[in-house]
Amino acid sequence: MMDRAEAALQFICSDDRSVWVGMGMALQSEYGDAAREIWMDWSRQSDSFKEADARAVWRSFRGAGVSIASLFHEAKQNGWRDQGFQKPTDSQIAEQRQIAAQRHTQEGQERAELAALAAKKAEWILGQCKHEKHAYLHAKGFQELDGLVWYPTETQNLLCIPMYVGGKIAGLQMIDRDGAKKYLSGQITSQAEFCFDAGGLNAIDWWVEGFASGLSLRACLHALKLRYRIHVCFSAQNLQRMAHSGYVVADNDATETGEKAAQATKLPYWMPLTVGDDINDVHKAHGTFRTSQMLRKWLQGLVDEKAYYQ
């Protein structure tokens, strides 16, 4: 199976550090240290490669929710097709290098500096947070749940949701008592996620937009005794960009934004029947048992449909 990953890896440029790190995490999470030399050989394609640094980065990987499906998804975006041995053409390689080079222009460097400052500020804020209850969690039906709460002033408190890119902190989603959401200036939001990971073998990827949706989905999957990895993507656009395997739980927006994003992923998706609802609205109205049974029935329908067409 590693041969398949090694072939796909050739369609990905190792010049971009965030991609480089993410692909290493994906390989280690799937194959462990057996994949180290595959990653090292691929890494050597970059002019910025340094042997000692690369080996130190590999040792730093501790499994951050980046699955091997992410590697195959990235490779497919660059022209790889899962049809046996392939080699990228010279034009494909040149195009990837050009894209990577563009990221290192002055404008790109300035964005990177702002993103680094935002990540540093996010780490500082998280260090100031208290574990306590918050009005937003109460309003979403999680009265007993503690969250990370920051007090920028004596009279203001914000629920802070860490946002990770490639397993590293990139910024925060900050939610006030009334549910208004904001982000740190300059932070990276594309490809950012927060993950609820139940761990274990056969964990399935689930994709949602919002944090409250993730909490409700977690409660339901726990009730169904399913292994899961829930990715909170923070927006429909980012969900569409990131979702690559498993299932999507879509928001039923009046604008159809949530459903269109779910359809674009080509993954099976569940969505509430009522326009304007997300899974958290269903969970609050019907409770964990009934909502989890809706998901169970939907999942069984997928199994039955697959069996019918086989």
Q: Show pLDDT as tens, one digit a residue, over the chain (310 residues).
A: 688 899 899 899 888 888 898 899 999 888 888 999 999 999 998 888 888 889 888 988 865 567 888 899 888 888 888 766 566 777 777 777 776 666 666 666 788 889 999 999 999 999 999 999 999 999 999 999 999 999 999 899 999 999 999 889 999 999 999 999 999 999 999 889 999 998 777 889 999 999 999 999 999 999 999 999 999 999 999 999 899 899 999 999 999 999 999 999 999 999 999 999 999 999 999 999 999 999 999 999 998 887 666 5
Clarify whether residues 201 and 300 are in a common domain: yes
Q: Considering the domain boundaries, does residue 188 fall inside one? A: no
Total number of domains constituting the chain: 3
Domain's final residue, options 182, 215, 234: 182
Residue 132 to residues 10, 35, 40, 145, 160, Cα–Cα distance (Å): 47, 41, 43, 8, 11
Domain end point (choices 79, 104, 129): 104
Q: Are 55 and 146 members of one domain?
A: no
Print the domain residue range for 169: 119-182
Regarding whether 302 and 202 lie in a shared domain, the answer is yes
111 part of a folded domain: no
Pair (156, 245) in one structural domain:
no
Sheet with strand 156-165: strands edge to edge: 130-132, 147-153, 156-165, 168-175, 181-183
| Residues 200, 178 share a domain | no
Considering the domain architecture, whether residues 66 and 128 belong to the same structural domain is answered as no
Q: Give the pTM.
A: 0.71
Distance CA 231, CA 274 (A): 23
